[in-house]
Structures are given as C-alpha cells and as structure tokens.
Structure 1
C-alpha cells in the first residue's frame, strides 16, 4: 500500500528499478521532465494527480477543484521558467457523480487554462471509486533558459516569489482545527481554494538569466530548501522568512508560531 511506505520511498523504488532516465536534460527527481529533442530544444512535460479524499479540503467547490488541478501542474513549469502550452486531463469519476458537479469542475479547468494561456485539448475518462484527476502539461523549453534544481552555488542569494504560511493556516481553518475573524479567514482560505502559480515571475526570471536553481515550493518551504540543498550540494543560511500578514494575525489569535506555519 502507498500509505505503508510513503511517496518518497515509492519514487526511490521506481528509480532503482528503472535506473538511468536517458534523455532527461534535468535528471531524475526535478519538478518536470525535460526530454532532449536535439539542438537547444526540450520537450517539457509534467503530470500531477489530485485525489478527492486526500487533496480536497472541506468547503472546496468543484470549480476550485478543477482550477487547482491545472494550477498545481503549472506551478512546476513556473519554477522551471517554461511556458506550458497544452493541458490534458484524465478523470476517474465515481458512479453517481452529478452532471452539474462535472460541469462545474470542467469550468474550473477551462478558466484556469485560459488564465495561464494554455490550450485544454481533452484527455481520458473512466469510472473509479473516488474522484481522481490526473493533469498533464506539455511545453517547449530551451536548454539555455530552463532552470533545474542542481545549480545552486556558494554565495547565491535565496529568494522567493511570495510569502509563506497561507496554505497551512488556511487548511487548519478549513479542517475546523482553529478559527479566525471572517476577514482573515477568507484571505487564508483563498490560498488553498484558489491557488495561483507564479508563472509570469518564473518566465521573467528565466528570461533574464537571474537563477542558478529553482524549485516549486508547494510541498513547503523547509522541504523545498532541503531539496535544493541536496541537489546542489550546498547549505543555506536563512535569516528572514516572508510570512503572510494574515498568518501572523492568525497565529497570534490561536497561540501558534507563524514561522512553523510558514515552514
């Protein structure tokens, strides 16, 4: 079972059995796969899966589920500085799933693709025990622009494109573990219900050759820093962690440490 060994161990088993992933310009374990097409061109692909009972918090609409399915794939492209062009969606739909809910979900997918200027070109459908969505992204990248995880050097500055803690705090509110005034709660819930990938920032930073390494931080700041450190063979001194202002207020109200939420 997946739960008995965990995602990271599953990845290690797969890589151990398959061995070298020939043709992947970035190497195994990066945010995307970048297949070498020859010359300077790369076929960049990504697939990410959403399962309703593990990835959909209470209160999330089906429209937001569709939006999130696209965004979590786009976020990895953003971290690599690559423009996604085509999105496909494979859906496992449980028996009895209402047509109204399906339309709402697809509207979320459609609108997210429009927001990121991506062509949504279909996919596959099947019946499953629970709602299962697997997004797939394709784009063309270039060897002199794509940003991997392995390039961090001594003396580099660690920078982020946003503030942290919103998702962790929002999830605690959605799960009913903690509360906050309406104005604060609404802002924090948007981090988990309506996430937005930093695609424009990633493309711009890549275009001006401003990055030596980069990673999508959806798995959390602490884990992302560990992955960059491990891939680049360097350590980091972190003196300032940008925390969402509402997270600080939420933490103060509930006796929590905002840095813990940010990490």
Structure 2
C-alpha cells in the first residue's frame, strides 16, 4: 500500500471534501463584509509532539503557540479559540489542573480568549486548538518580488540541537544547552512583531515545519528564486555541531518547531522592519534576496536547497 505524506493527504481531502481551491496558506480565510475572518486549527499528540521532560503546563501552552505563530506570520491578532482535549484515564485531578494552568497562561500571554471546547477520553493526551481572528488584509506566502530582501526572526538550529540534547544523543556546554532546551520547552511566537511589521511584508510564512520547507514553499508560491547569502545562526551552534560531528546546515535548515517568521520585503522597507524588530526585542537577520527564476539556493552551492523539514507521515 502506498504511504501518503502530509501534503498528499491534504490535497486528497481538498479535492474530495472542499469546494474551495487550496490556498497553501498558514491560515484559512473568509470574507466578513470588507474584512477577513481568519481561522486556524492545530493538533498536538503527546507521543509525537511532546519531548521528554516537558511540563504539562508547557504542553498546553505549546498547543496554543502553534496557532498563534501562524497568526503572527499573517500579521493578524488572534481573538478567540476553542480547545478540544482528549485525556487518558490515567490522568489525575493534578494533571488536569496543570493543563488548565497552561491554557490560562497562554490565554493571558497572547491575549486570546478561550471560549470553550470539548473533552473526550483517549489512550493518550491529544489537544486540538481552533483559533479565530479578524483582519483587514492577510500577508500571503506568494507575494515575493524580484529585488525583495529575505529576512527571518530568531536564531535557527537551536531547537534541533535542543531536542538532540534532551534525548541524550549529543553533548554541549551548559550555556548553549540551557538556551537550546528552552527553545524546545518554551518557544516564543513573534506575535506583536508580526502584527506591527505586516504592512511592510510582501510575503511571510511561519517556520515551524523547518526553514528549508518554508523557503521552498514561499519560493514556489511566489514563482521566484530565493538566494541565501547569510545563515541565521550564532557561533554557539557551530561549536555544538563541531563538538558532535554534525552538519550545522542540517540543523539550521531541516529542523522544525522554531515558530519564527520568514519574510520578504522591499529593500526600502527593511530598515523599518528592523526598527520594529528592535522595538519588540526580536532578533532579525537579513539572509538573502529574491531573484527572477525558481528554487532556493545557498550562495556558493550549485545544488538547490531541498525541502527536508518536518512532515507528518514521512519523518
């Protein structure tokens, strides 16, 4: 039997179930008068999405972060959400209280009101969050133009390294290990930055499936070539990679769950975006530029960067 990957499954459902053309976006939108209603749903499954040692409070928060990050990349403030939670019979009152506290923390942190949801019993913890907001416009994945700059928030590779450290597979110095593990357990979506900078973006996408996946998808949707000339990582990642005989490019491009934003913008707007990033305390790196053509290339390399990020049903 042929095993389908995530994109193939989505395409199959779109063709059979939906009468809408697939938008290839982080969120779904619909018209409300002159505005857009914005919806996003995301599911967390304990056995595949929760690393060892993560507190239940952070598990609940993570399920909300996944949706908030997509809203951030679209420049939209989320307003409300529904939470459906399936709980194993082994969970005690203490377990459930810890989850509830995590949802309360996320609600306050991101200004999202949890209206309600559903509960069920399952063999393991499963959380589905559906989020809603309203926007005047949406920053699409497909708007990059030749001459635009490519920028990313945050530092890439830390989350991949952090997971390796948590799983006990790699060694690291204490300072980098602390930063890397925190990026896994307590990711911070760039919500306020995304909302403030949206007006200057020509395209944007959440990076939680991996930087290579995001760049390849934006390049394909925009029908443009993306040339990468600078890596969005710090020297500590290079040290970690050397210490463990790993390829730093793989850590940077092929990780996942970094919840950063990949942006294209006109060169004249880059200064303004950098100012907004500084105001919001968000690290920002200009990593390349958009050209006519196709594919994603790292300067000095002939072969294109392949989409090797995270994919359910494949990884």
TM above 0.5, one fold?
yes
Give the match for residue 214 of structure 1: 204
**Number of residue pairs the alignment of both structures matches:** 253
Give the match for residue 136 of structure 2: 142
Give the match for residue 111 of structure 1: 105
Give the match for residue 238 of structure 2: 248
Give the match for residue 94 of structure 1: 88
The structure where strand makes up a greater share of residues is: 2
- Could you tell which deviates more after superposition, 65-74 or 6-15? 6-15
Out of 138, 145, 155, the residue aligned to residue 163 of structure 1 is 155
Give the match for residue 287 of structure 2: none
In the alignment, structure 1 segments of 5+ residues that lack a partner are: none
In the alignment, the residues of structure 2 paired with residue 138 and residue 194 of structure 1 have an alpha-carbon distance, to the nearest angstrom, of 23
Give the match for residue 231 of structure 1: 221
- Pair 1:35-2:35 in alignment: no
Q: CA deviation at 1:52?
A: 0.3
Q: Could you state the TM-score of these two structures normalised by the residue count of structure 1?
A: 0.92
Q: CA deviation at 1:254?
A: 1.2
- Could you tell which deviates more after superposition, 240-249 or 75-84? 240-249
Q: 1:97 to 1:116 in 2, by over 3 A?
A: same
In the alignment, structure 2 segments of 5+ residues that lack a partner are: 254-315
In the alignment, the residues of structure 2 paired with residue 178 and residue 106 of structure 1 have an alpha-carbon distance, to the nearest angstrom, of 33
Task: Please tell me the root mean square deviation across aligned C-alpha atoms, in Å.
Answer: 1.6
- Pair 1:203-2:202 in alignment: no
Give the match for residue 13 of structure 1: 12
Deviation track 1:14-41 (CA, whole Å, cap 9, x = no partner) reads: 122235417xxxx5220001111122x1
Q: CA deviation at 1:151?
A: 0.8
SS at match of 2:25: coil
Deviating 4+ runs (over 3 angstroms): none
Alpha carbons 1:64, 1:194 under 8 Å: kept? yes
Out of 79, 86, 96, the residue aligned to residue 85 of structure 1 is 79
In the alignment, the residues of structure 1 paired with residue 58 and residue 3 of structure 2 have an alpha-carbon distance, to the nearest angstrom, of 30
Out of 52, 58, 67, the residue aligned to residue 61 of structure 2 is 67
Give the match for residue 192 of structure 1: 184
Alpha carbons 1:187, 1:246 under 8 Å: kept? no
Q: CA deviation at 1:246?
A: 3.3
